[in-house]
Amino acid sequence: MSNVHKLLQHLDKVKRTGPCTWSARCSAHDDKGPSLTITEKDDGRVLVHCFAGCDVNDVLGAVGLTFADLYPPRVVDHRVGPDRRPFPAADVLRAVGFEALVVAAAAVAMLAGEPFSEMDRERLILAVSRIQAALTAAGVTHHG
Ligand SMILES: [Zn+2]
């Protein structure tokens, strides 16, 4: 199931408004009409916006999801590996940037006092290990 459908299945009054956009009742406030817009980006990311101004964290939290659920799975697998030569620097930087976002999202959730599940913890460790793998693959080691 795609990330966007993982979210849509939890929302009420879901209506498709475009090729990659939907509207729905906001899960974070007492929404009379569909105040929420959901957009699926080409790269699989899902953007959520509430016109009443709800925080995306609250919207996702109300249906039991986190930012991590809106990220495409395994974007860097098969790309970051020591066997691949020459190394695609742009891909590595993109992957590292993405994993940094995952870490940042986890930090924001922690600061907000949200429960940090075992799954979140594993995803965080995975992000760090991917960043390390990218450094190793790019020839940047702790010994250098
Ligand atoms: Zn709202």
Distance between CA 8 and CA 35 in Å, rounded? Answer: 14
Ligand 1: distance of its center to the CA of 56 in Å? 9
Ligand 1: distance of its center to the CA of 111 in Å? 21
| pLDDT tens track for 16-74 | 999 999 999 999 999 998 999 999 988 888 999 999 999 999 999 999 998 888 876 65
Ligand 1: distance of its center to the CA of 57 in Å? 11
| pLDDT tens track for 78-128 | 555 555 456 677 887 888 888 888 888 888 888 888 877 777 888 888 888
Q: Which of 31, 40, 57, 45 is nearest to 12 (CA)?
A: 31
Ligand 1: distance of its center to the CA of 134 in Å? 38
Distance between CA 66 and CA 46 in Å, rounded? Answer: 12
Confidence of residue 144 (pLDDT cuts 50, 70, 90): very low
